[in-house]
Amino acid sequence: MSWSRSLRVVLVLIMAAGLTVVGLPSRPAPAHAAAGDAVTLDAPTWLHSSGAELHWSRFAGPSVFDRYEVHRWATAGFTPSAATLLATIRDIDTTSWVDTTAAAATAFSYKVVVNGTDASNEQRVTLPADGQATLTLQPGPAAGEATYMSFGSGITTTCYAYFNYGGATNLRIGSATNTVVHRPLLRFDLRRIPPGASVTSATLTLWYGANSAAPGEVDVYRATRAWDEGKAVYPGSCDGSGADWREARAGLAWSAAGGDFDAGTKWASVPATSHSSTGGSNAFTVTTLMQNWVNGTTPNLGMLLKINNEAIPSTTPQKYFDYYSDDYGTATQRPKLVVRYADGSHATGPAVSIAAPAANARVGGSVPITAAASDDGAVSRVDIAVDGSVLASDTSRPYTATWNSTTATNASHTITATAYRRAAPGRRHLRAVHDVLEHPGSAAHRVRRPVHAAHRHGEGLRPQWQRHDQLAERVCGQHRRHSVQRGVRPERARAGG
């Protein structure tokens, strides 16, 4: 039996009505920022002289994702705009970006903006000197390796020498009136530092709270046997999870109880006067030890800390106190290692060249000048100058100017193109190049203008850039270099010879 045409029409109408009630799949709403769209920009832990390595949280809505934008500016509290934009990322899963275009030894602020309007928190950094990197390691419970060992000759707890504290929030150090001695172990993962890199400085910082201890000098030694952190929390337990006074790891004894370390070399120390009863931090300069490890001279098995005189105090004050460990709740007060080393980083500037007129060309009359510029950030403008006088500031491609050469002398002339990147101006540099942005690049052609309205051009300069406090000097240097005669004689002189 076939359905009548009218029945089929009715069925179609019913289905259409049903879909209307249920709701057809709607198109995605246009991308727009909404409350909650902003991502969180992590504090950069790896800085190069050319910029910071940035990481942020993955976009989680509620709007439809369109793009991340990375912004940088010299001034804290800046408002992201076209002038501060460095990069646009359309992949929602790309949540990191490496800045390679900032100026060395300069402070910058970064933000990541979602969908063009919703800005992240700001992270401010001061970049290391040219050619240097700064790696900050301050790991938390998952990645950190920090624990301490303890033993008391007067303690009767059967397994006390096997107490582990790998998951404790404290790193106890020093001697107590109850005969217990404590020694922390710490290890940092240095694999991000290239083997053999020259270490400029390395500082270990440990924080501690208020206490009345008088620990005396605190020393840093190099551990000489691999050990496990373990996971027992305070007040410790004999769970066999990691290092204790007798064992480096479960079932593997130290060569000597209390941990194996190179007692012959004290790599760093802080004096007794460094301890404050109101709490604070101790900074240990461990540059030489880090260089030793980076060079591979000895394996990085971590550091063992102890007080210089571990003799048991007969009366208070106690000689023991607690540093905060990698498991401490306040992330900024966990053990921190800052290593500065040579990584050969150099900020890349905009590339610029003069496309027309060609080098050594003879020109006359109204001379069109065209420059090309590119950058991994954004070129904000190109200034085109003749003999140092700017003819035009062009903000969009093609970067052009027109030079009326009829009023120029019949001699060599220098055409200069200077590209500017969108970045943060340093206020102190405004005098040198007013309203100029960071990292100009420049190229120059020397031009020679003979009698009959023809110009000879000299060689192009290798494109280069400098921080703009150096720009004026560098550009003057270019002019000096290119004012040198290259054996090109005016037409008139040649005709007479």
Task: Give the binding site for Ca ion (CB under 5 A).
Answer: 146, 166, 325-327
CB of 224 to Ca ion, least distance (A): 20
For CA atoms 74, 77, 83, 89, the dihedral sign is: positive
- Closest CB 62 distance from Ca ion, rounded Å: 38
Beta carbon nearer to Ca ion, 53 or 326: 326
Specify whether the CB–CB gap between 184 and 207 falls below 8 A. no
Coil, helix or strand for 243? coil
By beta-carbon proximity to Ca ion, the closer residue of 53 and 247 is 247
Distance of CA 338 to the CA centre of its chain: 13
231 and 242 Cβ atoms separated by less than 8 Å: yes
Q: What share of the chain is helix, strand, coil (3-state, %, to 5)?
A: 15, 35, 50
**Is residue 399 packed enough to be buried (19+ CB in 10 Å), middle (13-18) or exposed (0-12)?**
buried
DSSP secondary structure letter of residue 345: -
Give the nearer residue to Ca ion in terms of CB position, either 166 or 377: 166
* CB nearer to Ca ion: pick between 231 and 266: 231
Residue with tokens 């059967």: 158
Q: Which of 96, 38, 95, 90 is nearest to 62 (CA)?
A: 38
Q: C-beta of 346: minimal distance to Ca ion in Å?
A: 38
Which of 327, 383 has the CB closer to Ca ion?
A: 327
Short-list 40, 29, 30, 28, CA closest to 118: 40
**Measured from the CB of residue 139, what is the shortest distance to Ca ion in angstroms?**
9
Sole residue written with tokens 């461990």? 286
- Nearest-angstrom CA–CA distance, 171 and 344: 36
Phi-psi region of 304 (alpha: psi -120 to 50; beta: other; left: phi over 0): beta
Hey, is 396 helix, strand or coil? coil
The least distance separating Ca ion from the CB of residue 158, rounded to whole angstroms, comes to 24
The answer to whether 444 touches 482, Cβ cutoff 8 Å, is yes
State how far the alpha carbon of 120 is from the alpha carbons of 64, 84, 87, 370, in Å. Answer: 17, 14, 15, 39
Of 306 and 467, which CB lies nearer to Ca ion in the complex structure?
306
347/104 Cα distance (integer angstroms): 7
- What is the helix (H) or strand (E) element at residue 480, kind and residue range? helix 468-482
| Residue 329 beta carbon to Ca ion: minimum distance, rounded to whole angstroms | 13
- The minimum distance between CB 272 and Ca ion, in angstroms, equals 26
Q: Which helix (H) or strand (E) holds 245?
A: none
By beta-carbon proximity to Ca ion, the closer residue of 46 and 234 is 234
Q: Shortest Cβ distance from residue 101 to Ca ion (Å)? A: 39
Select 245 or 341, whichever has its Cβ closest to Ca ion: 245
Q: Which is nearer to Ca ion, 326 or 343 (CB)?
A: 326
User: Cβ 168 to Ca ion, closest distance in Å?
Assistant: 7
CB of 131 or CB of 141, closer to Ca ion: 141
How far apart are CB 185 and Ca ion at their closest, in Å?
9
Buried b (16+ CB within 10 A) or exposed e, 295-314: eeeeebbbbbbbbeebeebe
